[in-house]
Chains A and B, each alone.
Chain A
Amino acid sequence: MVTEPTTNGNTTGKGQSAPDKMVRFDKVVKRFGDLVVLRELDFEVAPAEHVTLIGPSGSGKTTILRLLMTLEKINDGYIWVDGEPLWHMDQGGKLVPANEKYLRRMRPKMGMVFQQFNLFPNMKVLRNVTEAPIYSLGMSKDEAVQRGREILELVGLSDKVDSYPSQLSGGQQQRVAIARALAMNPKILLLDEVTSALDPELVAEVLNVLRDIAHTTEITILCVTHEMQFAKDISHRVMMFDHGQIVEYGPPEKIFSDPEHDRTKSFLRAVLEAR
């Protein structure tokens, strides 16, 4: 499962799709004003692969997830998802910037779980989970409700379908958010520091649910986390970022116990000491 690309995580030619890859970044540039967050970033993720992105804050990890979820606009380069360009569309053999309609078609390939849950507070738990399948995917209401109940059972919340998010603990809310993302049946799950806003005693219930999903489904996962044990448990590959570039990558056993780069060593030392 673990891919070992040749140079800098890139094996395919520029501006081309890679049919056997689920995600492919090709010279991706992201700037916020004068600040360059990602500089010509290249990497690939295979289908069903679980990749954890680590690195200091401001290194661009979260930006990668947000570019994939189309919450931030790309400045240069190409992103390929499931063999199709994400931010560009094919127009007479030429790739032109994607319009909103195209983006809406691409987004359901991805599901995102946010640090702050971002559940819809005005909807009950079940509706939070069924809203998008019904109105984005056009699923029938009955089917969406049935699937919603199944997925909520999967995350251990079948007794909370009629509660409002505000009546749940942080850990329960985050599990609803995971269910909401999964209900769209995405090919890629994007996890953005999903335990950072939780009280320490609520972290485990969320990570256990995610471990289950990682081990029992074929979903591709890109995960930004500071939970190194969790990263070790679920990842096939860990990528260390600094200043918008990949410092080093490899299987978690290697990165966590025998990192090669000094930047990785000092980062891991700092993270482990802080715990």
Chain B
Amino acid sequence: MIWDWNFALNEALPQMLGAFLKVTLLATILGSVVAMVLGLILALLRRSRIQLISRPTGWFIEFVRSTPLLVQLLFLFLVLPRVGITLPAFTIGIIGLGVHYATYTSEVYRAGIDGVPKGQWEAATALSLPPRRKWQDVILPQAIRNVLPALGNYVISMFKETPYLLAITVLDMVAIAKNIGSLNFKYLETFTIAGLIFLAASYPAAVLMRKLEIRLGH
């Protein structure tokens, strides 16, 4: 097997980079936004004093965490249209990735919230801060700061799991690699490039996270 530079640089790389930006990266960014926002909402609902809210939230989190992402993606893709909800495959992919990772980030938020010293809660109570201000100004800024590295690591994991979108017909970079690889029978080039692109994106991100961890004193 010989490495074909011309094919690698002039055919595979441009197509794959395009798919990387338009699908892999975009899905990671949008999925992360869903995971970060929904995860926080889940974490807060789970803390609710009303059991009718906290219990089902807990069950939902456990259920999603203990089933595979692939099954969830297929379920959404194949079942949603049956109940009359038709969405583009890419949108379903974002929802699937986002919800799946939200159940993980909700646990991270929970740990962050639990990690805010008791004295901070007591000071907020003593100053009679309304609940919204207590959370928005005192508890969450400290909780999120403490768990930023952990949240960042989930973004990196999600990034590496975007190829699952292939199962629901979203052609990400890995799917493109397979396609142009099989057309030209040059898998070595396409999958090597796919690996390198993932590495080039996630390694700096991981280093950045580690730096952040050190800066935050973990």
Residues of A within 8 A of B (CB): 69-71, 104, 107-108, 110-112, 114, 116-123, 131-132, 135-136, 180-181, 184
Contact = CB atoms under 8 A, between A and B. Distances in A.
Nearest to A107: B128
Could you say which of A69, A112, A117, A135 has the most chain B C-beta atoms within 10 Å of its C-beta?
A135
B119 A116 contact: yes
A62 B59 CA distance: 40
B125 A118 contact: no
Interface residue range, chain B: 10 to 19
Contacts of B129: 131-132, 135-136
Given A114-B122, A116-B119, A121 B142 contact: yes
B145 interface: yes
B11 interface: no
Nearest to A66: B122
Contacts of A122: 138, 141-142, 145
A131 B127 contact: yes
B48 interface: no
Given A121-B142, A122-B145, A112 B126 contact: yes
Contact of B123 (A104, A110, A114): A114
Could you say which of A116, A117, A123 has the most chain B C-beta atoms within 10 Å of its C-beta?
A116
Contact of B138 (A116, A120, A181, A184): A120
Contacts of A135: 129-130, 133, 137
A136 B141 CA distance: 19
B120 A120 contact: yes
A136 B122 contact: no
Contacts of B137: 120, 123, 131, 135
A136 B127 contact: yes
Contact of B125 (A70, A119, A181, A184): A70
A131 B129 CA distance: 8
A215 to B, nearest CB: 24
A118 B128 contact: no
Contacts of B130: 104, 135-136
A155 to B, nearest CB: 17
B142 A71 contact: no
Interface in B79-119: 117, 119
Contacts of A119: 123
Q: Lowest 10 A-B CB distances belong to which pairs?
A: A132-B127, A118-B119, A118-B123, A107-B128, A136-B128, A122-B141, A135-B133, A112-B126, A69-B126, A116-B119
